[in-house]
Structure 1
Amino acid sequence: MHIMLAVDGSPYTERAARMLVGQAALYREPPKITLFTVALPIGTPLARAQLSKATLEDYYRDVAAQALAPAEKLLREAGLAFTSVHAVGDPAEQIAGEAKRLQPDLLIMGTHGHSALKGFVMGSVASKVVAATTVPVLLVR
């Protein structure tokens, strides 16, 4: 089984990672796990043009590492193997695109991320991903 876990370092995605760790023991074989995070582009295209490609790549790599760290730690402590991947862009578009590319058996993500607004049943990123993908999605609250 291949599971893609979309993470952003928020409490919701930490809960999703914990749920994955708890469920992994139910599988006959350990699942193949891909952690995926998306960094938002900084500034405007004009502002980004003033920075070197290496500077931007270092920044996005650092942002991704911060978002991935909590889930990576949980999976590592549970003895689960995983691959971490990051992209830059609109989170919903990137998550749906990566799910289309990887075709995992299951996409797990939190219902809300860092920009969660109280009172909403489901965040806009989660809503857009569910609408844009044909991969089964498990939302964790």
Structure 2
Amino acid sequence: MYDRILVPTDGSECADRAVDHAIDIASQYGAELRVLSVIDARDMSHSAPAISIEQVEKALRERAESVIGDVADRAEEAGVSVITAVEPGIPDDVVVEYANEHDCDLIVMGTHGRTGLERYLLGSVTERTVRRADVPVLTVRQTD
């Protein structure tokens, strides 16, 4: 039923719970796990004047690579084939485009990530992904 499962992650606790579910499902179906972290383009526009956009992007990329590296290690320990990616852009746009471009059968994501009040008021990445994705989206709450 599932050959490629996409799990977007920002390293938050909720995303981490989604990763657990994605690894379990991938293991059960013998599916490939695709781990994606999006460098939110909006985060780079809020940098302090003393910090260059390049420095901000480098720091965000290093953090994203660390997060997906940890997930990849967990997936490999569970015997799951894993491919990782870090992409810049608007998170829900990137998630939906990535799922389409890589023929993902399922998206597994947390209901809440590392977001502040501004993003809460603008709407959740997960909500927008659910509305726009062409494949099923399994949402995982931070707690049961």
Provide closer, same or farther for how the CA distance between residues 87 and 78 of structure 1 changes in structure 2, counting only shifts above 3 A. same
Matched with 1:24 is 26
Partner Cα separation in structure 2 for residue 75 and residue 132 of structure 1: 27
Task: Using structure 2 for the length normalisation, give the TM-score.
Answer: 0.76
1:67 matched to 2:57:
no
Provide closer, same or farther for how the CA distance between residues 26 and 127 of structure 1 changes in structure 2, counting only shifts above 3 A. same
Partner Cα separation in structure 2 for residue 62 and residue 84 of structure 1: 14
| Residue-by-residue CA offset, 1:85-105 (whole Å, 9 max, x unaligned) | 111121111111111212211
Matched with 1:11 is 13
Matched with 1:83 is 83
Partner Cα separation in structure 2 for residue 85 and residue 10 of structure 1: 17
What letter matches 1:11 in structure 2?
E
Matched with 1:137 is 137
**Residue 66 (structure 1) shift:** 3.0
Partner Cα separation in structure 1 for residue 78 and residue 38 of structure 2: 24
Provide structure 2 residue ranges, at least 5 long, that are not aligned to the other structure.
Answer: none
Identity in percent: 28
Partner Cα separation in structure 1 for residue 75 and residue 26 of structure 2: 10
On the 8 A contact 2:26/2:33 being kept in 1, the answer is no
**Residue 78 (structure 1) shift:** 1.2
Runs of 4+ in 1 over 6 A off after TM superposition: none
Deviates more, 1:17-26 or 1:128-137: 17-26
* Number of residue pairs the alignment of both structures matches: 130
Partner Cα separation in structure 2 for residue 113 and residue 57 of structure 1: 19
Partner Cα separation in structure 1 for residue 27 and residue 56 of structure 2: 39
Alpha-carbon RMSD: 2.6
Provide structure 1 residue ranges, at least 5 long, that are not aligned to the other structure.
Answer: none
On the 8 A contact 1:12/1:112 being kept in 2, the answer is yes
Task: Using structure 1 for the length normalisation, give the TM-score.
Answer: 0.77
**Residue 73 (structure 1) shift:** 2.9
Matched with 1:95 is 95
